[in-house]
Structure formats: structure tokens, C-alpha cells
Amino acid sequence: MPETFLLEVATPERLLVREQVREAQIPAARGYIGVLPEHAPLLAELGTGTLSYAVGERRSSIVVSGGFVEVQPDHVRVLAETAERPEEIDTERARQALRQAERELLMAPPGADIARALNKLRKAQERLAAAEKQKAQTGKRA
């Protein structure tokens, strides 16, 4: 049985990952799925969250939201609407986006698209958390 599979993560604007990985955790719309090599073919919508994967002993993560996941025995493709590496996220701006999302949800007039506002809030939380975790890690290393 192969030890690794090919993980590809792309947005319409760029390709973020094309690597042989050992294992990956992917935030599908209905909850996280863990993928190992030789996974059964699966199609799912991508949710909002932090995708993480392991190459050898190294673990990396990417904040993704919206899109599709295709799992095949030898490869996994994540077609995300947006995807960012934690080190690319500006903590200050992420915090502002979170406050903005909270305000929008609170002020939402009746009949507004609550699901959309909620999703925005989740994305902001996820981004901020990932950025802060990244900061703490690099801080420790320094």
C-alpha cells in the first residue's frame, strides 16, 4: 500500500499545494474528513475551516472556504474559492473582518441572509485563529 498520495489545493487565481502527503484533514461542508492513501472516491462540497496535511513529520495548514473536494485513491483535489496560508494572513485585518462580521450578524434585518453572514463570521474566526497560532509558533521559535 502506498505511503503517500498527491494533494493539490488550488483557487481560481493560483495553485497553493501540489505535494505528496501522508495524510490530510479537510474541512468539508458537513464536517472534517481525514484522508489517508487509498481512500475511496468521494466528492464533497468544501466548507470553511483549516485544511491541514502532513509531509513526513512536517505539518502545514491552509485556511480555505467554499468550493469542492475530490478524493481518489491516489490523489486529492481541493478546489477552494479562497485559500490562504496562515503566514499570509494579516492578524490586524483579520480581527477587523471578524468585528465587521459580528456587527453584520447583529444588525441583520429580519429576512436577511443569515446563513451567509454566519459563514462570513466562521471564516473570519478561522482566519484569525490560524494567523494567531502561526504567530505564536514563530514567536516560540525565535
In the complex, which residues of this chain contact other proteins (CB under 8 A)?
8, 10-15, 18, 28-30, 40-45, 67-68, 70, 72, 77, 79
For other proteins, the closer of residues 68 and 135 by Cβ is 68
Q: How far is the CB of 126 from other proteins (least distance, A)?
A: 18
For other proteins, the closer of residues 40 and 107 by Cβ is 40
**Quick one: which H or E segment has residue 3?**
none
Report the alpha-carbon distance of residue 39 to residue 117 in Å, rounded: 34
User: What residues pair up with 21 in beta bridges, in sequence order?
Assistant: 5
Report the alpha-carbon distance of residue 67 to residue 19 in Å, rounded: 20
For other proteins, the closer of residues 96 and 138 by Cβ is 96
For other proteins, the closer of residues 29 and 129 by Cβ is 29
Q: How far is the CB of 28 from other proteins (least distance, A)?
A: 6
CB count, 10 Å around CB of 60? Answer: 15
Q: How far is the CB of 104 from other proteins (least distance, A)?
A: 18
Which positions ≥6 away from 51 have C-beta within 8 Å? Answer: 9, 24, 25, 26, 27, 61, 62, 63, 64, 78, 83
Q: How far is the CB of 125 from other proteins (least distance, A)?
A: 21
For other proteins, the closer of residues 59 and 116 by Cβ is 116
Helix, coil or strand: residue 19: strand
Q: How far is the CB of 141 from other proteins (least distance, A)?
A: 30
